[in-house]
Chains A and B, each alone.
Chain A
Amino acid sequence: MKQDPETRRGSFLSIKTAVVLSIFLIAAGASAFRNDNVPPEEVKISMIDRDSIESVKAFETVYKTLMSPRCMNCHPAGDVPLLGDDSHLHTMGPKRGVDGKGVYAMKCSNCHQETNTPGLHTPPGNPDWHLPPAAMKMVFEGKSAHELAEQLVDKKKNGNKDIKKLIEHADDGLVLAGWNPGEGRTLPPVTHAEFKKAWITWLKTGAYAPKK
């Protein structure tokens, strides 16, 4: 295992992270992966091929993507989503609600349709448009790379996602919506393929959290 003295503290925390994942692996058992899109050997390899430097490097791409407006805007620190490339508070301040789908007359799907609405400044669309629910807010906004990395693999904070589900999540409809943002909105800094590669690499090399 390559070790960089500079990232010692990060490595220490990353090891803790890896332990959590290992526990999951045992609990889930090999059968859980059989019908998965991800070839089983990859997963197995990923869990044993820890590489803190490669992992942290991959996370750079993951982090800058997740912190881009297209991803972060729906992972706000407060209960109001963010809007625009400058990630200002969503006009009209729609609230998260218990299920993340808004409240009363201000439910997400009252404006956000199943597909993008044509035109500038119109609501982007997705059949499942929502924020993380109140009990699992999955905040990105304001998180350092270190904090976000830890949070992403913490089942108590990531929506109870194990590594398999985390890998699958790269192809989640709402994640993909970031790369189909509607007219006038910038795309995330890398392509979805690049993001997915970095995401899986990060997870497979031990999901190490950067030092900061």
Chain B
Amino acid sequence: MAKVTLNINNKDYPMEADPQMPLLWAIRDLAGLKGTKYGCGVAQCGACVVHLDGEAVRSCVTKVSRAAGKKVVTIEGLSETNSHPVQKAWQEIDVPQCGYCHSGQIMSAAVLLREKPNPTDQDIDDAMAGNICRCGTYLRIRKAIHTAAEMQKKTAAKS
């Protein structure tokens, strides 16, 4: 056990944690933020994706020690008002079925859109193949990412 402070969604969370503890469990059990999901624990499914200094890391295999001193953003902190273009597109396209994997999907998609504002279907497949959706909403995920790209473009044009 060690004292560690995690900065999650721009807020400091001081905690007592085993430095080997996966960031996922620190976020869920210690910080109490339940939006980040456990799906496999071995970086196969992407349900646990969070942003660590902007990268879409899988928090189930990322140790707390790696996250200390860095900025962690979870689905709860992606936007203040549920209004990130990816969130809005997910709402508009009504993507989810069960919904469990979608915080991870959204967090992955947000990194894709930052790095590739106008992704092709191929870019989307390349970026999102690490996120399993057991309900099979992949076609809507593709559509929503295109929609988010459009929304992002419009917002950029206005500002």
**Direct A–B contact present (CB less than 8 angstroms):** yes
Residues on A facing B (Cβ under 8 Å) = 91-95, 103-107, 109-111, 113-114, 117, 119, 121-123
Of all chain B residues, the one with the shortest Cβ separation from A123 is B43
Is B57 part of the binding interface, using a Cβ–Cβ cutoff of 8 Å?
yes
Is B150 part of the binding interface, using a Cβ–Cβ cutoff of 8 Å?
no
Interfacial chain A residues near B79, Cβ < 8 Å: none
Residues on B facing A (Cβ under 8 Å) = 41-44, 46, 49, 55-58, 61-63, 66, 107-109, 111-112, 115-116, 123, 126-131
Task: Kindly state the separation between the CA atoms of A93 and B112 in the bound complex, as whole angstroms.
Answer: 16
- Main SS of the interface on chain B? mixed
Verify A113–B123 contact, CB threshold 8 A.
no
Of all chain B residues, the one with the shortest Cβ separation from A107 is B55
Of all chain A residues, the one with the shortest Cβ separation from B115 is A104
B86 to chain A, nearest CB (A): 11
Of all chain B residues, the one with the shortest Cβ separation from A121 is B42
B28 to chain A, nearest CB (A): 18
Interfacial chain A residues near B111, Cβ < 8 Å: 104-105
Task: Kindly state the separation between the CA atoms of A150 and B128 in the bound complex, as whole angstroms.
Answer: 37
A161 to chain B, nearest CB (A): 29
Interfacial chain B residues near A119, Cβ < 8 Å: 41-42
Task: Kindly state the separation between the CA atoms of A103 and B129 in the bound complex, as whole angstroms.
Answer: 11
Interfacial chain B residues near A105, Cβ < 8 Å: 46, 49, 56, 107-109, 111-112, 127-128, 130-131
